[in-house]
Structure 1
Amino acid sequence: MEATIKLSDLFKIIKGHAFLIIAITVVSISIAAIISYFVLTPIYTADTQILVNQKNEKRNQYVASSQIDADLQLINTYNVVIKSPLILSKVIEKLDLDITPEKLTEQITILNTSNSQVFTVHVEDTKASRAVEISNTIADIFKDEIPALMKVDNINILSYAKLSENPNAAKPNKLLNMGIAAIIGLMLGIGIAILIETLDTRIKTEQDIVEILDLPIIGLVSPIIDKKTINFAKETNKLSIQSRRVRRI
């Protein structure tokens, strides 16, 4: 037999287990906050923009257009060169970093908008100042090395990364993590409440009987009281009446 829950029943379950649902949600948010603020390491980012633009004063419109296409195609090559050990080894040596080129590669992302001659060296690091230094140093060394590597003169630094006075960590996003935890906690609390109600097969009210047997209720049996309780009630009633008479006298 298939068990189904009506929307009205769901609201009743949520209302009946509101404390449980709220408690689980609060615990989830608290755990997310603790992890975000005290466990996860903050990650800072820095971006340096590089412009690819071939210098050629004696070029007409068609030559310029073809040259731009060539520059755009070269960007993919430059992306590989930037993340190569040749460039990164010199960055590590210049900044005296305790890291291998392979590990440093994992911190670097090359961003490029479609059909744009500008690409961005995006660096992530646990220190904001170091992220800025790595990003700018990569751009400088790349600009110095690329003429000898590819015999080109089309690299210019469009903008350097700058260190703000109060840098904000890009990761983790604390509010987002807590929001996701709140949703998960709420869903988990409702799920547990539904599970409790589903597993609880006890008959608590007359409505439960109607739902199970699909029959109307034609009568109710009053609570059965034993003789001792009845006698005690009678004696109590007599004492109460006698005390009232005494007060009247």
Structure 2
Amino acid sequence: MEETISLKEIFGVIKERLLLIVSLIIGAALIAAVVSYFILTPTYQASSQFIVSQEKQDPEVQYNTGDIQTNIQLINTYNIIIKSPAILEDVVKELDLPYSADQLKSKLQVASEEKSQVVTVTATDTDPATAVKIANSTVETFQEKIPDIMSVDNVSVLAEAELSENPSQVSPNPLLNIAIAIVLGAMVGVGLAFLLEYLDNTITTEDDVEKQLGLPVLGVITHINDSDVRGEHMAIQSKQTKRGGYSGAQKKSV
């Protein structure tokens, strides 16, 4: 016979282990807060944009869709070149960065919108000012060297990265980390509560006797504390004293 569990039993297990669940939630949230605010190093991002346009030509000649399509196809090539050692080594030397071109490559993201000629170069660093310098220097170096690399001159800077007065970190996100920790803490707490309930094979209630042993309950012996026994004994003595006093008073009056 398959065992089933009712919704009432589920809430009963959660209620019984509520302190454990709440403790795990609070503990997970505190750990996430400490790690996010005091252990993880905050990082910042800065973005610079350039546009891939047609080479300089006669002003009277109009652009056509073929020219634009060619420029869009070149963007995939540019995305690879801009993160190549030929560009990044010059950026490292120019900014006197304390890491290599390969390490700088991991700090750069190059992306372009679908069917767009605009390319965005995003730099990530623990120092917001350094992130701005890396983004701008990378785009400028790429613009200077691309004519020699591919014999084209169709890159123009669209927007330079700027350092704001109050730069906001992109990671870690303390609020998001705490929220995730609370959800994970609740899931682990509930799972652990049901696991402990499953492993608990002690018989504590009349229902446990019927379910585990398959025997009917004929009677229940109530647990009596010492305080209850003393209280009952004092009550009996008080009643006997009152009755004895009342009988003595009757005899005396007779």
The question of a shared fold, defined as TM-score above 0.5 by the shorter chain, is answered with yes
Distance change in 2, residues 1:233/1:32 (3 Å): closer
TM-score, with length taken from structure 2: 0.85
State the distance in 1 between where 2:108 and 2:135 align: 8
The corresponding residue for 1:86 is: 86
State the distance in 2 between where 1:23 and 1:79 align: 49
Distance change in 2, residues 1:174/1:233 (3 Å): closer
How many residues align? The count is: 242
Structure 1, unaligned stretches of length 5 or more? none
Q: Deviations over 1:159-211 (max 9, x none)?
A: 01111111111011111111111111001111111111111111211222333
Task: Identify the range of structure 1 (3-12 vs 157-166) with the bigger mean alpha-carbon deviation.
Answer: 3-12
The corresponding residue for 2:97 is: 97
The corresponding residue for 1:244 is: 242
- The residue type equivalent to 2:137 in the other structure is T
The corresponding residue for 2:7 is: 7
Q: Deviations over 1:48-86 (max 9, x none)?
A: 01100113334345xx21111111111111112211112
Distance change in 2, residues 1:11/1:238 (3 Å): closer
Q: CA deviation at 1:243?
A: 4.3
- The residue type equivalent to 2:170 in the other structure is A
The corresponding residue for 2:61 is: 59
State the distance in 1 between where 2:156 and 2:162 align: 17
Is 1:127 the equivalent of 2:96? no
Distance change in 2, residues 1:25/1:235 (3 Å): closer
Distance change in 2, residues 1:102/1:233 (3 Å): closer
The corresponding residue for 2:142 is: 142
Distance change in 2, residues 1:190/1:240 (3 Å): same
Q: CA deviation at 1:110?
A: 0.5
The corresponding residue for 2:185 is: 185
Aligned CA-pair RMSD:
2.6
State the distance in 2 between where 1:186 and 1:224 align: 36
Distance change in 2, residues 1:175/1:238 (3 Å): closer
The corresponding residue for 2:252 is: none
Q: CA deviation at 1:212?
A: 3.5
Distance change in 2, residues 1:233/1:121 (3 Å): closer
The corresponding residue for 1:75 is: 75
State the distance in 1 between where 2:245 and 2:25 align: 59
Q: CA deviation at 1:41?
A: 1.0
Distance change in 2, residues 1:37/1:94 (3 Å): same
State the distance in 1 between where 2:83 and 2:185 align: 42
The corresponding residue for 2:161 is: 161
Q: CA deviation at 1:91?
A: 1.0
Q: Deviations over 1:5-34 (max 9, x none)?
A: 333211111111111100011001111111
Q: Percent identity?
A: 40
The corresponding residue for 2:209 is: 209
State the distance in 2 between where 1:163 and 1:234 align: 81
2:148 partner SS:
helix
State the distance in 2 between where 1:38 and 1:116 align: 41
Q: Deviations over 1:132-160 (max 9, x none)?
A: 00000111111111122222121111101
State the distance in 1 between where 2:174 and 2:101 align: 31
State the distance in 1 between where 2:232 and 2:80 align: 98
The corresponding residue for 1:114 is: 114
State the distance in 1 between where 2:153 and 2:169 align: 36
2:91 partner SS:
helix
Structure 2, unaligned stretches of length 5 or more? 250-254
